[in-house]
Amino acid sequence: MIRVNCEEYAHGHEISKLLGSPPGYVGHQIDPLLSQGRLDRPHRKLIEARAAGETIEIGLADRIFSSSSAKFVSVILFDEIEKAHPTLWNALLGILEDGMLTLGNNDTTDFTRSVILMTSNVGSAEMGEFLDRRPVGFGRDQPSGTQGADSLRALALKAARASFPFEFLNRFDEVLVYSALEREQLELIFEKFLADVHDRALRYAGVPMLIRPSGAAKQWIIDRGTNLRFGARPLRRAIERELVDPLSRLIASEGIAAGDVVEVEVEGEGLAFFRRSRNAAALLELAGRAAAVSVDE
């Protein structure tokens, strides 16, 4: 996958980093990001490694790859496309229509075996206002479910049509509008962030521990990290503030030792941390098994 951060291409002259410069111009000797060589480089490495009998962990791409036909699929992600200069939008028209791009040195790049993805925050302000809106009167509930999703989609598409040229939007096979995160998704994200905290404690602090928040503590943190407008980032900040900061102070003051199990409960208006000693070697073995399971999956 190649990720293009479109915020770096807000000015027209910066597009040369993607498409290359004509011969004689500054930077013409630099291989542009969207050149055929850059696009095929990870696949060539995979082919060479397999020919040499090496094993490479490449995840989904490894399953897409067919060693017999040497065909592969690339993913090109243009992140926050609305922040790019309109010159880039025009350059992408050929990619989205014919799958071909002519670079500054007149070389062509073949995107016919590529999946083109673009993300955008266009419409986020309007969608945020819709989510924050409070109904007035009796018996008028906030739209939810399919009705709410349809309303958010209509707002996002209206904002996209106002921001991007029609011929640009007409090149896309599908436009997806993401709904606001619900409680179920936030609980899954909480577990992911908690796994990151375990990894940081082991990797950077050298203190392997097992953090066990109770159901009430988990819901308490999620309540303070839920914001429909801003998604999962407030939850990350709530975990840092309510969980990581107290644990860091306990580690620094040696209130927690390697191998401890830290149970987190709700007490009064905050969280309480309880230390339960456990054999560090057994905990490291458990962490190793969990990592092995994660790799196998």
How many other CB atoms are there within 10 angstroms of residue 64's CB atom? 13
- Tell whether the model's pLDDT for residue 58 goes beyond 70: no
Q: Return the pLDDT at 229.
A: 73
Question: pLDDT higher for 237 or 179?
Answer: 237
**Highest mean pLDDT range out of 105-109, 200-204, 244-248?**
244-248
- Indicate the average pLDDT of the chain: 80
Q: Return the pLDDT at 137.
A: 41
241 vs 58: CA distance, rounded Å: 35
17 vs 31: CA distance, rounded Å: 8
Q: Which residues pair with 100 in a beta bridge?
A: 110
Asked which of 131-140, 234-243, 255-264 is least confident by mean pLDDT, the reply is 131-140
Pick from 14, 76, 81: nearest CA to 40:
76
Question: pLDDT higher for 289 or 295?
Answer: 289
Give the confidence band of 150 by pLDDT, cuts at 50, 70, 90.
Answer: confident
Question: pLDDT higher for 77 or 144?
Answer: 77
Assigned fold of 2-118: Rossmann fold (3.40.50)
Report CA-CA distances (Å) from 10 to 6, 83, 150, 244. Answer: 7, 6, 32, 36
Question: pLDDT higher for 210 or 297?
Answer: 210
Q: Say which amino acid occupies 126.
A: E
pLDDT tens for each residue of 64-74: 444 444 567 88
pLDDT tens for each residue of 2-35: 899 999 998 888 888 888 877 767 666 677 888 8
Assigned fold of 183-296: Helicase, Ruva Protein; domain 3 (1.10.8)
Q: Which residues pair with 213 in a beta bridge?
A: 264
Q: Return the pLDDT at 116.
A: 93
pLDDT tens for each residue of 168-223: 999 999 988 887 788 889 999 999 999 999 999 888 888 888 999 999 999 999 99
Asked which of 106-110, 127-131, 163-167 is least confident by mean pLDDT, the reply is 127-131
Q: Return the pLDDT at 27.
A: 63
Query: What is the reported pTM?
Result: 0.68
Q: Return the pLDDT at 145.
A: 52
Find the mean pLDDT for residues 34-38: 88
Segments making up each domain of the chain, as ranges: 2-118, 124-169, 183-296
- Tell whether the model's pLDDT for residue 284 goes beyond 60: no
Pick from 184, 193, 195, 204: nearest CA to 238:
193
Whether residue 73 contacts residue 114, with contact meaning beta carbons closer than 8 Å, is answered with yes
222 vs 205: CA distance, rounded Å: 25
